Structure 1
Amino acid sequence: MLHLRLITPSEKTDAVVRLIENTVGTTHLAVVPGAARNPAGDVVLCDVAREAADELLTGLQELGLDKSGSIAVENIDLSLSVRADKAEAEAPGEGADAVLWEHLTDATHEESTLSVTYLAFITLATMIAACGVVLDNAILIVGAMAVGPEFGPLAGISTSIVRRAPRLALRSLIALLVGFAVAMAVTVVFSLFMDWIDLFSKEQLEADRPQTGFVYAPDAFSFIVAVLAGAAGTLSLTSAKSGALVGVAISVTTVPAAANAAVALSYGDMGQTWGSTEQLLLNLLGIILAGALTLLLQKWLWSRQRGRINAGQGS
């Protein structure tokens, strides 16, 4: 269940209440007239089943409440209520399958914004991965994958394709490109420093690396795994099962490939540099493509389910 806290101009309160009452899957409706001060108006509270929330939020936006008032949505971790159970049972579909498009857009907007923190994480992840590829240490590679924040901008690009949001696409693309460019540039300097203090060497990089050699040797599985991980990551975002993102992060080799390219570039090994770059691009393309297709499929399936339910109610 989700909890909605609305501030409505007094002249719109009746329309908002009617919309809530006519939306299947809502309960615990409360109206506090004149309680809001900034903006001035009434406070309307209600709970809604997750699978009915997107329809309700769309209706509230059509009433202009996002401009003239306020719409706040919170997750309810526990609700001991027969009415809540009844509302969830009446709502169409399953909550785990529902996509809250405004929530997804807002979440990807936050995760895909270029910031000092984002740059710090992706740079540190790339430097950790650089140590992993030189030492041929799979544990360091996995750690670097988990630290890397690049799935946020990738999800932002996929969402922007489906939502037709050019600003989100541009913001995500800037974060992705600038982030990797900065991380790889810093890692080149880091690699040269580590070589200067005799902790990195070209011989280590070019030696047989059974644990990490895959990062500069892309093949069909590179793209296939990226596609599967992109679909899993998108599902974890839309169903609020964020724990799955950790598995997604350690399934793709974006950060290790960027790190290997940077280290190889510092030694002038263009073979590994180009191979790692190809691996990086294949992973990025696979994740974006899978994310967009997953969202489109979810949108199509949910619209079909809504259509069947509405047809049944009409008859």
Structure 2
Amino acid sequence: MLQLRVLCPPERTDHVLRAVRADPGVAHVVVSRGAALEPEGDVVEAYLTRASADAVLDAIDATDLARAGAVVLTDAGTTLSAAGERAEAAVPGEPDDAVVWDELVARTGEESRLGGTFLAFLSIACVLAAIGVVTDSPITIVGAMVVGPEFGPLAALAVGLVARRWLLVRRALAALAVGFPVAMAVTGVTAFAAEWTGLLELRALPAQSQVSFIYHVGWSSLVVALLAGAAGMLSLTSAKSAVLVGVFISVTTVPAAGYAVVAATLGDWWQCLGSTAQLAVNLLGIVTAAAAVLVVRRRRSGSRDRVPTRELL
């Protein structure tokens, strides 16, 4: 279940209470009048099912309430409640499969921000991938896949396109357009520095190696990217977030970027081109499949797509 906490002006408390209590997916409602100090007002708390979250947020006018107070929606964790079980039974569908659109937009929006941490993780992942290429180490390549944070902007791009949130689309594109060139530049400098200091010896890349799958582009590359994008978005839109680790390992986005840098450093432009094409195929496939999953789930749930409060503030 989810926990909803609303800090609202006293004149709007009764409206919030009526809206919350009218939904069959709400199990518990608590009101503390005058409890909020900044801004001054009342605090309303409720426990509700994931399937009811969007309807309740619409009913209480969450967008307007966010301007005057705050609306917080969090995972309630382990909840032992007979009323909670009755609330989940009263709402059609499986609780874990419900899509909370405000939560999805807010989460992908946070993970798509271009900042120092994002650039650091992407650069580290790209350098790890380059080391894996030079040492012919698939294990290091897998490590680079896990470290890479690029799925956040890719998911945000899919959400923004489907929900027509152009600010989210621009933010995701900026993260990808700036992040990958910066990470590849850092990798190139690191490669030259490692060779100059003798830490690594850059030699011609063999035509066949344990990591040659990175630049071999084919239908399998597109299929894997589509499946990874679908699985990743299913994980984000449900309560099964552990699946994301498998998604990170299955796609060759960061490894392709690292391989392209190493190949360019050695003047092997054919393999550099192949790696770049692999990167483009994976990025396009992930976004396409993720967007398709969102379209299908949106039609099945019938949820209305609202502008999330955090994008308005």
- Fold shared per TM-score above 0.5: yes
Q: Distance in 2 between matches of 1:240 and 1:88?
A: 14
Q: Distance in 2 between matches of 1:61 and 1:277?
A: 46
Q: Which letter maps to 2:230?
A: A
> 1:286-297 alignment to 2 at 5 Å?
286-297=285-296
For 1:119, the equivalent position in structure 2 comes to: 119
- In structure 1, the residue corresponding to 2:61 is in which secondary structure? helix
Q: Distance in 1 between matches of 2:80 and 2:71?
A: 24
Please state if 1:183 is matched with 2:183: yes
8 Å contact kept, 2:156–2:169 = yes
- In structure 1, the residue corresponding to 2:302 is in which secondary structure? helix
Q: Distance in 1 between matches of 2:104 and 2:2?
A: 15
Q: Distance in 2 between matches of 1:74 and 1:28?
A: 15
Report the CA distance shift for 1:50/1:295 in structure 2 as closer, same or farther (over 3 A). same
Give CA-to-partner distance per residue, 1:117-171, whole Å, 9 cap, x none. Answer: 1111110111011011111111000010000000000001001001111111111
Structure 2: gaps of 5 or more residues: 304-313
8 Å contact kept, 1:236–1:245 = yes
Please state if 1:261 is matched with 2:239: no
8 Å contact kept, 1:52–1:92 = no
- The percentage of aligned residue pairs carrying the same residue is 47
Q: Which letter maps to 1:112?
A: S
Q: Distance in 2 between matches of 1:63 and 1:256?
A: 41
Q: Which moved more, 1:58-67 or 1:182-191?
A: 58-67
Q: Which letter maps to 2:264?
A: L
Give CA-to-partner distance per residue, 1:55-110, whole Å, 9 cap, x none. Answer: 11122236722222211112111122111111111122211111111111111111
- In structure 2, the residue corresponding to 1:243 is in which secondary structure? helix
Q: Distance in 1 between matches of 2:42 and 2:197?
A: 67
For 2:236, the equivalent position in structure 1 comes to: 237
Residue 290 of structure 1 deviates from its aligned partner by 0.6
- In structure 1, the residue corresponding to 2:251 is in which secondary structure? coil
Q: Which moved more, 1:143-152 or 1:260-269?
A: 260-269
8 Å contact kept, 1:34–1:42 = yes
8 Å contact kept, 1:136–1:209 = no
Q: Distance in 1 between matches of 2:188 and 2:208?
A: 20
- In structure 2, the residue corresponding to 1:125 is in which secondary structure? helix
For 1:75, the equivalent position in structure 2 comes to: 75
- In structure 2, the residue corresponding to 1:32 is in which secondary structure? strand
Residue 208 of structure 1 deviates from its aligned partner by 4.0
For 1:53, the equivalent position in structure 2 comes to: 53
For 1:310, the equivalent position in structure 2 comes to: none
State the superposition RMSD in angstroms: 1.5
For 1:272, the equivalent position in structure 2 comes to: 271
Aligned residues: 303
Give CA-to-partner distance per residue, 1:237-282, whole Å, 9 cap, x none. Answer: 1113221111000100001100010111112211111110000000
Q: Distance in 2 between matches of 1:202 and 1:209?
A: 16
Q: Distance in 1 between matches of 2:122 and 2:175?
A: 10
For 2:12, the equivalent position in structure 1 comes to: 12
For 2:309, the equivalent position in structure 1 comes to: none
Q: Distance in 2 between matches of 1:69 and 1:83?
A: 28
8 Å contact kept, 2:20–2:59 = no
Residue 199 of structure 1 deviates from its aligned partner by 4.6
For 1:308, the equivalent position in structure 2 comes to: none
Q: Which moved more, 1:20-29 or 1:287-296?
A: 20-29
For 1:196, the equivalent position in structure 2 comes to: 196
> 1:209-220 alignment to 2 at 5 Å?
209-220=208-219
TM-score by length of 1: 0.92
For 1:3, the equivalent position in structure 2 comes to: 3
Q: Distance in 1 between matches of 2:40 and 2:121?
A: 41
For 2:87, the equivalent position in structure 1 comes to: 87
Q: Which letter maps to 2:235?
A: S
Q: Distance in 2 between matches of 1:113 and 1:76?
A: 26
Q: Which letter maps to 1:228?
A: L
